[in-house]
Chains A and B, each alone.
Chain A
Amino acid sequence: MTEDRLYGLLAEFQGPEELLKATQQAYDAGFRSMDAFSPFPVEGLAEALGMRHTWLSVIILGGGIVGGVVGFSMQYYSSVFSYPINSGGKPFNSWPAFIPVTFELTILFAALAAVFGMLALNGLPMPYHPNFNVESFSRASRDKFFLLIEAEDPIFGADDTRRFLETLEPVEVSDVEP
């Protein structure tokens, strides 16, 4: 198998601690284009991959602010400019009565931003991924833990990297076809 036909190498580990340790060692060895897979969130694993922060909170805050502004200005525009009508002697801009709808739209937009922001940053939906070619990867959603080193990493070499992964005491190392 030639190197350019390889997507990467996938090492299987028994438990979360083994995966975390292996990921840290791979990071320390200089690998950057890599990913770790686990059946449940493992504390510190994303940090071990070199992920420092995510923009998700900012996106959600932005969604909430947009929702609040849209909600309030919609009511302000319609009650003050578009269709001013005296209702129970209240002022046209009876802002306390506009709070509930403003609040609901803030929550709605923030929640939509949270879900779609999370999916977009994660690159989902992605029905095909080379990992799925590896038979044992189906257990990543059950009880097995995996570390993937991608071929696009500058210091990747099919044989060298395989030898390196073997030193991390995996259960098995598999080739991932693209």
Chain B
Amino acid sequence: MDQEESSPVLKPGYTIASVTDKISSIVLTSRTPRQWWVGFGVAFIIVMVLFAAITYLMVIGVGIWGIMIPVGWGFAIINFVWWIGIGHAGTLISAILLLLRQEWRTSINRFAEAMTLFAVANAALFPLLHLGRPWFFYYLFPYPNTMGLWPQWRSPLIWDVFAVVTYATVSFLFWYVGLIPDLATLRDRAGSWIGRVFYGITSMGWRGSARHWLRYEKAYFLIAALATPLVISVHSIVGLDFAVSVIPGWHSTVFPPYFVAGAIFSGFAMVLTIAIPLRSFYHLEDFITMRHLDNMAKVMLAMGLIVGYGYLIENFIAWYSGDVFEAAIYTDRFIGFYAPVYWALLLLNVGITQALWFRGVRRNTKLLWVISILINLGMWIERFIIVVTSLAHDFMPSSWGIYIPTVWDYATFIGTLGLFLALIFLFIRFLPVISIFEMRELVVEQEVQGAQGD
């Protein structure tokens, strides 16, 4: 209890009524803050950029992007891996930390799960757009068809389809099940007719019966237990998309665990990027305390070290294996065309991360926010390096080539950032950003602990 005492997971002095009122008032207020409109408006304009980019893609085709043989996997795959990685922190916080009974997860799990959902939605967009003819996306699924064809089950790319679909579905279910009791709270407290109808339908008539709670908790825990291996499998399979091929720089057994660590690293960075402005704007410092930020920064540091170890071992194996192609690609990363990008990657993911060793940095919200954005950028660059440098520099010098993204690549990527932000803004306005019923439990636990302390 030494350090917990100085920074509790919940500021003392709250009752179960006052946490309920405080969190639900963010949603139930009739006045939408002007800053919300500004933020949502900007995000919405960027969504329009995404729509324009997708429309143009549908009309012309993937030729509007910078992809050209040998680099056929440009931004689309980089963004796919990056977005789906971001989602992983949400599941980690909501499922793994639940099973480990880490009570500090309570106030951050809800929006981390929402972030997962929106990130996975963005991620799923990219492989579909990359198909070239996205309207035939259903070819990916095993359905009885007149061509008599089936998917190639031995390919990690089809594993990916199942992994992402399962991940998106389970993330949604987990998030929604967690929301049901809170939607009932909003239903009972909504002032407007439309609010009562909306929350009434979505809460499905939840009334807090003890029998319901028993089954509810059982279901919630078991979904968490199912989501835990699932989240590991999803990014492992994404790692296998690369590792199963024979391209130098990809054909590596370290990829699945190294991808999972990278995913959690970037995901926690994104949680911090959202949490820090959110807690300050809605005055949630009592719920999302310094302890949360500190813990998340520590997880980020640990994952950053694993990622750094991944870089080290990749380079070591490239040398130690004696494989000339492998050695050539890693040398190329340090001194070749994309060397500045690789050095930026090392600076951001390995260099900047080391600042998190210091308590003063972890507890300085502004600095932590900047670092979290830099790590997001660093992890995006990592995927750029993995996807592009290997393809651009494979076995035959005659087949080497350079990939330069076009304005449409950037427009699509930035557009999905806008979509992500717009969805986050809508979520904050219409659904409780913190799990209310779990906060009530936390208040009661704290009261019990306080009583024992006296």
Q: How far is the CB of B256 from chain A (nearest CB, A)?
A: 11
Q: Contact at A88–B211, with CB atoms within 8 Å?
A: no
Query: With A54-B214, A111-B173 given, is the CB distance from A127 to B226 under 8 Å?
Result: no
Cα distance A75–B201 in the bound complex, in angstroms = 39
User: How many residues on chain B are close to A (CB under 8 Å)?
Assistant: 64
In the complex the two chains form, is B162's CB within 8 Å of A57's CB? no
Instruction: Report the Cα distance A49→B444, complex, angstroms.
Output: 22
For the complex, give the distance between the alpha carbons of A52 and B33 in Å.
49
* B200 A127 Cβ-Cβ under 8 A: yes
Q: Is B285 positioned at the interface, with any CB of A under 8 Å from its CB?
A: no
B150: nearest chain-A partner, CB-CB: A78
For window 2-25 of A, CB contacts with B under 8 Å fall at 16, 23
Given known pairs A37-B208, A118-B215, A127-B200, the reply for A142 and B166 (CB within 8 Å) is no
Q: Are A107 and B15 in contact (CB under 8 A)?
A: no
Given A83-B150, A105-B162, the answer on whether A49 and B210 have CB atoms closer than 8 Å is: yes
Q: Are A128 and B219 in contact (CB under 8 A)?
A: no
Per the bound structure, the CA–CA distance linking A38 and B207 in Å amounts to 8
The bracket for how many chain A residues form the interface is 35 or more
A108-B170, A138-B189 are known contacts. Are A127 and B207 too (CB-CB below 8 A)? Answer: no
Take A39-B437, A56-B215, A142-B16 as given contacts and tell me if A87 and B159 are in contact as well, using a CB distance cutoff of 8 Å: no
Cβ contacts under 8 Å, B20 to chain A: 39, 141-143
Distance, CA A115 to CA B149, complexed state (A): 33
B200 to chain A: closest residue by CB:
A127
- Check B216–A111 contact: CB distance below 8 A: no
Residue B142 CB within 8 A of the other chain: yes
Chain B residues near A88 (CB-CB < 8 A): 154
User: Is B177 an interface residue when CB atoms closer than 8 A count as contact?
Assistant: yes
Q: A54-B215, A97-B153, A108-B169 are in contact. Are A16 and B208 (CB under 8 A)?
A: no
Asked whether B223 lies within 8 Å of A114 as measured between CB atoms, the reply is yes
- Within the complex, what minimum Cβ distance (angstroms) separates A11 from chain B? 14
- List chain A residues, Cβ under 8 A from B216: 41, 118, 122
Given A83-B150, A143-B15, A117–B219 Cβ distance below 8 Å? yes
Tell yes or no: B184 within 8 A of A by CB.
yes
Q: How far is the CB of B41 from chain A (nearest CB, A)?
A: 33
Q: Are A100 and B217 in contact (CB under 8 A)?
A: no
Pairwise interchain contact A140-B154, C-beta atoms closer than 8 A: no
Complex: how many Å from CA A139 to CA B185? 8
Is B400 positioned at the interface, with any CB of A under 8 Å from its CB? no
Contact B162 A101 (CB under 8 A): yes
A90-B154, A118-B177, A143-B20 known; A45 and B210 CB under 8 Å? yes
A101 to B150 alpha-carbon distance, docked (Å): 14
B185 touches A142 (CB 8 A): yes
B319 contacts the other chain (Cβ, under 8 Å)? no
Residues of A within 8 A of B444 (CB): 16, 40
Chain B residues, Cβ within 8 Å of A97: 153-154
Asked if B208 contacts A104 (CB within 8 A), the reply is: no
Residues of B143-202 whose CB lies within 8 A of A: 148-154, 156, 158-159, 162-163, 165-166, 169-170, 173-174, 176-177, 181, 184-185, 187-189, 200-201
Q: Please determine whether A104 and B162 come into contact, CB atoms closer than 8 angstroms.
A: yes
A16 to B204, CA, bound (A): 24
Of A38, A39, A90, A105, most B-chain CB atoms within 10 Å:
A39
11 A-B pairs within 8 Å (CB atoms) are namely A39-B185, A41-B214, A79-B150, A100-B240, A101-B159, A104-B233, A112-B173, A115-B176, A118-B215, A118-B216, A138-B189
Residues of A within 8 A of B (CB): 16, 23, 35-42, 45-46, 48-49, 51, 54, 56-57, 60, 64, 74-75, 78-79, 82-83, 87-88, 90, 94, 97-98, 100-101, 103-105, 107-108, 110-112, 114-115, 117-119, 121-122, 124-129, 131-132, 137-143
Q: Which 5 A-B pairs have the closest CB atoms?
A: A125-B204, A118-B219, A78-B150, A126-B205, A45-B210
Interface contacts beyond A125-B204, A127-B201: sample of 10 additional A-B pairs, CB < 8 Å, sorted by A:
A35-B210, A45-B213, A60-B219, A78-B150, A104-B162, A112-B173, A122-B215, A122-B216, A131-B207, A140-B188
Residues of B that sit less than 8 Å from A by CB = 15-17, 20-21, 142, 148-154, 156, 158-159, 162-163, 165-166, 169-170, 173-174, 176-177, 181, 184-185, 187-189, 200-201, 204-219, 222-223, 226-227, 229-230, 233, 237, 240, 437-438, 440-441, 444
